Structure 1
Amino acid sequence: MKILGFDMEVDISNENTNLLVVTDNKLFGSICCNLNDKNSDNIVFVSNDSLINMKDILIVFDLLNFNINNKTIINKLYNHLSDNIISNIDEENELKDNFMKMVRIVYDEIDDFNVDISLNEELDLIKLFKMLNVEINTDYDGVLERMIDLLEIYSELNDQTIIFINILSYFSDEEIIEIQKYINYKKLSVLFFENSYNRGVYFENQYIIDDDFYDYAIQFDKK
């Protein structure tokens, strides 16, 4: 990640836990606006010398109100389930057999009408998932569980770089350590972007832009 006007390159690789702190409120707000607007003129993301479309970066401004069952994730979930079923001949055939039982029941009802009624006999798995209202359970006991679930969902379904804005204040030091362990275990590409950070928990890559607009990086070895 590169920010216009600064030489520092922010590493968001999945090899480390990553934190960017911008203490000047106006600059912090400006960067947030650019991230929200997907403004690639002021912020760019690069991987292997190639530009990454900012639309492919997930920006989470409000963890508590973030819709885990958004359209992108639901589509990924349905496609994933569909592929798994199709790859299992026994499951696919069982579903088709049960679907045809339903079709025959409907045909029996249709026969009672003196109206020409058509019926689609092809099983559409995506429509079936929608009919069954297949979605991710969002009944959480706390914010940490919600956070871990979001990371798990995106690691399983979307493999997407995630930037969290000002969310570390939701968590205790112990919970931040648990989140870091999970990120390291899953090898997720995650950046925490904060307006301030004075906690005793260190990130392996810490990037600072202070009130004097001086930018520098601090690296901490993995424990």
Structure 2
Amino acid sequence: MTKLSVNINKLATLRNSRGGNMPNLLKSAADIESFGAQGITVHPRPDERHIRYKDARELKEVVTTEYNIEGNPIPNFVDLVLAVKPTQVTLVPDAEDAITSNAGWDTIKHKDFLIDVIQTFKENGIRTSIFVDPSFKMVEGAAETGTDRIELYTESFAHDFAQGMKSEGIKPFVEAAKRANEIGLGINAGHDLNLQNIRFFKENIPGLLEVSIGHALICESIYLGLENVVNMYLHRLK
């Protein structure tokens, strides 16, 4: 079964919009795990507009499944990850002012930088993953950095799926996944995956280990309830 890691950034956005501590992020993470999720993901950004660095540290004491911290490996982020020591760190090349992640790494251009950062994390016992577009060249470049896994950036698939172009949209992801399997990279995926497209994606991607889903899952939960939605995803990922 592909594991579900729930990104709780949007819960932090809701909390921050009003001040105070509602919803309680730590309790929310514990509840999501109790509903069956196999991981919790956070993506702190430098301006702390949703997840704060303090949240990332405090969640370490709460999360009992897999803990995944995403972000651009600027010095403050690297220091945070080394202090927290999550199960996994996912490296994302987002600009400081990005609304959300919008591209994978150029693993060839940034190869030396990624090698250094990944080596630091792996020396500290932290599994590494690199956010990449579904490209043979970028997947092969990722392998040369020493990363354990890649996370396929799935926005284009989700867009094509919504337009009725399932076969066209999934094809580059299938090919990228096959290549990753051939060269020994684990495969994660995330971005704009939702209850409508997750089953099709999972059924077509060989060796898919984990998906990280936040925005869609929280939006769907407004209508259907958080516990119900978590279990709907788990059912589709079996």
Scaled by the length of structure 2, the TM-score of the pair is 0.35
Question: TM-score w.r.t. structure 1 length?
Answer: 0.37
Decide which structure has greater helix share: 2
The higher radius of gyration belongs to: 1
Greater relative contact order structure (CA < 8 Å, 6+ sep): 1
